[in-house]
Amino acid sequence: MSSILLITFDLDDTFWDIKSTIINAEMNSRKWSEDRIGEKIEWGTFEDFMKIRNELVKEDTSLEYDLGMLRKKTIAHHTKKFFKDAKDLDEFIEDAYTFFLGERHKVTFYDNVVSVLEQLSAEYKLGVLTNGNADVNKLGIGHLFDFSISSMDVKSNKPDKAHFVKARELSQIDFKNTLHVGDHQVNDILGARKLGINTMWFNLNNLDWEIDENPPIQFNKWSQFIKLVEKSYGN
């Protein structure tokens, strides 16, 4: 009998590559905005983009976990000069954000992710713990999970404990019977480990474990995952 009753998963860079997803979403959204406004827009460099985001977060720290609002404010920053009427601007921002969100959900799952989740969902409770704004219900895999917790839900980002504590509250399963799986050494592995949650590191690029002398159990292909869970925790 496995000691694991609940498995929680990170999403971005754990189930799919986030950089290519966001770059595509960003490019398509820019084109969408320019087509809608009918003008070329000065988007600036990637550094400018990050600078604007950092300044917005400095003004309002809740934007650190409210990625939707951060995105809307970034859109407004670039486009407000094209609108005389505040209502027209608001309407544009809502539409632009809806478009972006649709694009952001055009992900390519890593090999075997979905079939592995399907198999696991028959044996374990499954949950999502994400700092991002992907929604598993928009990806056709929502039915495989018992719950999904985003940063907006807990007004906090991993590695802080709020996601993990909320998972325990929703599942009624102790940390010692929970396994958290993610790609990030600090946000996922260290955050969970500090609470006594079991961890597995999805280490796609075979990085070195830089945190301490105690590397977590790790894997780089989803096809390895179920056997590894059974080997590590029993079945």
Residues that bind Mg ion (CB under 5 A): 10, 12-13, 183-184
Nearest partner of 214 among 195, 231, 190, judged by Cα: 190
Residue 10 or residue 66: which is nearer to Mg ion going by CB?
10
Minimum distance, C-beta of residue 49 to Mg ion, in the bound complex (Å): 20
Minimum distance, C-beta of residue 158 to Mg ion, in the bound complex (Å): 9
Residue 41 or residue 207: which is nearer to Mg ion going by CB?
207
Minimum distance, C-beta of residue 17 to Mg ion, in the bound complex (Å): 10
Compute the distance between CA of residue 222 and CA of residue 215 in angstroms, rounded to an integer: 19
C-alpha to C-alpha distances, 185 to 175, 182, 208, 214, 224, nearest whole angstrom: 18, 8, 10, 12, 19
Minimum distance, C-beta of residue 14 to Mg ion, in the bound complex (Å): 5
Nearest partner of 161 among 146, 145, 144, 178, judged by Cα: 178
Residue 75 or residue 129: which is nearer to Mg ion going by CB?
129
- The alpha carbon dihedral of 34, 41, 76, 65 has a sign of positive
Compute the distance between CA of residue 125 and CA of residue 157 in angstroms, rounded to an integer: 22
Output the residue with the shortest Cβ distance to Mg ion: 13
Contact between 192 and 17 (Cβ < 8 Å):
no
Contact between 158 and 187 (Cβ < 8 Å):
yes
Residue 33 or residue 148: which is nearer to Mg ion going by CB?
148
Minimum distance, C-beta of residue 122 to Mg ion, in the bound complex (Å): 25
Residue 14 or residue 198: which is nearer to Mg ion going by CB?
14
